Amino acid sequence: MTFGIDIQNLTVRYPGVTAVDDLTLKLEGGKIYGLLGRNGSGKTTLLSLIAAFRRVTDGSILVDGRVPFENEELTQDICLVRESGDTVVEGESVKGVLRRGRRFRPRWDDDLAQRLIDLFQVPVNRGVTKLSRGQRSALGIAVGLASRAPLTMLDESYLGLDAPSRYAFYDVLLEDYMEHPRTIILSTHLIEEVARLFEQVVIIDRGRLVAHDDTETLRMRGAAVVGPAAAVDDFTTGMTVLGEQRLGGTKSVTVYGEIPADARTVATDWGLELSPVALQDLFVHLTKGDPA
């Protein structure tokens, strides 16, 4: 079972800052989404609203066609794991957290939880507050995946893991997603590392939607045009230029937007080189400017 998400004109204001700014976004169910945005761009606020941690006051959010806020039947099937691990209860042990998952998550899989706890070597009898940052991340991930929630959101929750553990997590995530398709949203700053998991990418900046596309399509949207400066300037006239660098007579201009086949032929004729741009670079370009 998978849940789609329909967000219309969502705005969230805190004193002095608009965290989410008239955001409209539709996510189909059954895909893995990457949610990218700079610090303070509104990712956590957005995910918290989808998970019904707070009430929507301006705009609307529907998950599986239903309003999540104060809808327990729906929210038991929406799992948001945050990096801070703030959903843990003070004084609770790892065992206690797992027990809670088993009790409140209707699709909970004990074997998967145990597999992840063993994989990341989380000490089950220890109090959650006494876990290391990485162990706490691992516990969050175990709960997030073992919940098998039709909508699962991991808000930078794996940043505390070391590299081998992160890669092990990506493998388990993919394997379990293939066997039990669901909607997964991963918010992350480790863009290139996780990009292979994303089917679609959503980029927000200062609470606004900047891009939402298939990962491959988005990648194809960016190109670095390199060659003699005058020819590069001519070729890129009228295109959306994200950045440029010049070294002597050679110029490299990063453009955003589809380059049709006939234009690519022109580029070749003019001695220009067109190369793809890494997702991370596109992200940096698209979200450049003063932070929120």
Nearer to ligand ATP, 44 or 215 (CB): 44
Verify binding: residue 140, ligand ATP, rule CB under 6 A: no
Sign for the pseudo-dihedral over CA of 170, 143, 28, 175: positive
Verify binding: residue 41, ligand ATP, rule CB under 6 A: yes
Nearer to ligand ATP, 17 or 274 (CB): 17
Instruction: Using CB under 6 A, pick the residue from 39, 70, 248, 262 that binds ligand ATP.
Output: 39
CB of 290 to ligand ATP, least distance (A): 12
Judged by CB under 6 A, the stretch of 39-47, 71-79, 98-106, 210-218 that binds ligand ATP is 39-47
Verify binding: residue 43, ligand ATP, rule CB under 6 A: yes
CB of 37 to ligand ATP, least distance (A): 5
Nearer to ligand ATP, 168 or 292 (CB): 292
CB of 292 to ligand ATP, least distance (A): 5
CB of 265 to ligand ATP, least distance (A): 41
Binding mask 94-133 for ligand ATP (x = CB under 6 A): ----------------------------------------
Q: How far is residue 47's CA from residue 257's CA, in Å, rounded to a whole number?
A: 28
CB of 105 to ligand ATP, least distance (A): 24
Give, as ranges, the residues between 11 and 30 that touch ligand ATP (CB under 6 A): 14, 17, 19
Structure tokens at 1: 């079972």
Nearer to ligand ATP, 37 or 222 (CB): 37
Verify binding: residue 137, ligand ATP, rule CB under 6 A: no
Nearer to ligand ATP, 87 or 252 (CB): 87
Q: How far is CA 158 from CA 91, 167, 188, 263, in A?
A: 22, 10, 9, 42
Q: How far is residue 34's CA from residue 225's CA, in Å, rounded to a whole number?
A: 27
Instruction: Using CB under 6 A, pick the residue from 5, 21, 31, 42 that binds ligand ATP.
Output: 42
Site of interaction with ligand ATP (CB under 6 A)? 14, 17, 19, 37, 39-45, 292
